[in-house]
Amino acid sequence: MLLQSFLAVANSQSFSSAAHRLNITQSTVSHQIARLEDHLGKQLFERTTRSCRLTAEGRELVEFATRVIRIVDEMEQCFRPSLLRGTVVIGVSDDYHLFLPLTQAFKGFMESKPGVAIEVRAGLSADLQRDLNERKIDLAVLRKVPAASPAESLITDNLVWITSEYWTPPRDGVIPLALVAGACNYRRTAIAALDERRLPWKCIVSCTSLEGVLAVVQAGMAVSVVTEGDVRGGVIAAPSDGLLPQLPRSSLTIRFAEGEPSLVARALARTIANVLKQKHGDVER
């Protein structure tokens, strides 16, 4: 766990970001880094009140730490195959376009590790984070808006306004919205963007799923916000230079439940990260 905390701080350049990523307290991260520095007899970070930077010794340790964690995982998979058994519960942000690459990743993972079963729970990122905190799930793929730092992000996506092909702004100037109910990132982002531009709005439909939102938008009744990947038949992305305001970028990150992640959870996280980064690279090319 000391080396995992070290790499989390090294990648994010922040003790608080590392604590959030590992789902432990900032004081725990600080204590673990202090223990590691004491053990090695070297200062690994130059700390300020706002950030931290790796020292020369810290930069040298990054490569060693990465190799050690990978080798330990490989060793445990070889000598303790029983650790790669059981059910791992993963939460997934309820974005339609994620499900195809993720289900492919899950299928390949279970085929290569027949002793493992995967239980998937889709939902809002805020709800999944709560489930992580309560240890109801082992890990989660979470949507962050605005985008997290590059060190914390698996991939980044544009957020866009969507409308039907023939939608026109209402004469009274009040923007009709169709939004997912609850603590939805897209809901919060849409309202904040309109409020910042002082554009009047009215939520005419609150749905429990993105599918309901898309159906309302397809009918031309309202507009909404989704990732660029969720723009599909029946809806279009509104022009970026039109009436509707600019939106921030978003990102996907992986978080673990508090405590030491299981070997299965870490292996699944690596598989997901590789699949999503590969897919994103294909899209960008």
Q: Identify the structural domains of the chain with CATH numbers, from first to last.
A: 2-78 (1.10.10.10), 82-143+252-284 (3.40.190.10), 157-249 (3.40.190.10)
Provide the pLDDT for residue 145. 93
User: Is residue 186 scored above 90 in pLDDT?
Assistant: yes
Provide the pLDDT for residue 198. 95
Which secondary-structure segment (H or E) carries 40? helix 26-40
* Cα 106 from chain centroid (whole Å): 17
Q: Is 254 exposed, middle or buried (0-12, 13-18, 19+ CB in 10 A)?
A: buried
Per-residue pLDDT of 196-234, as tens digits, reads 999 999 999 998 888 889 999 999 999 999 999 889 888
Are the C-beta atoms of residues 148 and 125 closer than 8 Å to each other? no
Per-residue pLDDT of 84-139, as tens digits, reads 678 899 999 988 888 888 998 999 888 888 888 899 999 999 999 999 988 899 99
The arithmetic mean of pLDDT across residues 143-164, rounded, is 89
Specify the pairing of strand 45-47 against strand 52-54.
antiparallel
Are the C-beta atoms of residues 229 and 202 closer than 8 Å to each other? no
Per-residue pLDDT of 241-255, as tens digits, reads 788 999 999 999 999
- Beta-ladder partners of 226: 160
Q: Is 256 exposed, middle or buried (0-12, 13-18, 19+ CB in 10 A)?
A: buried
Provide the pLDDT for residue 80. 67
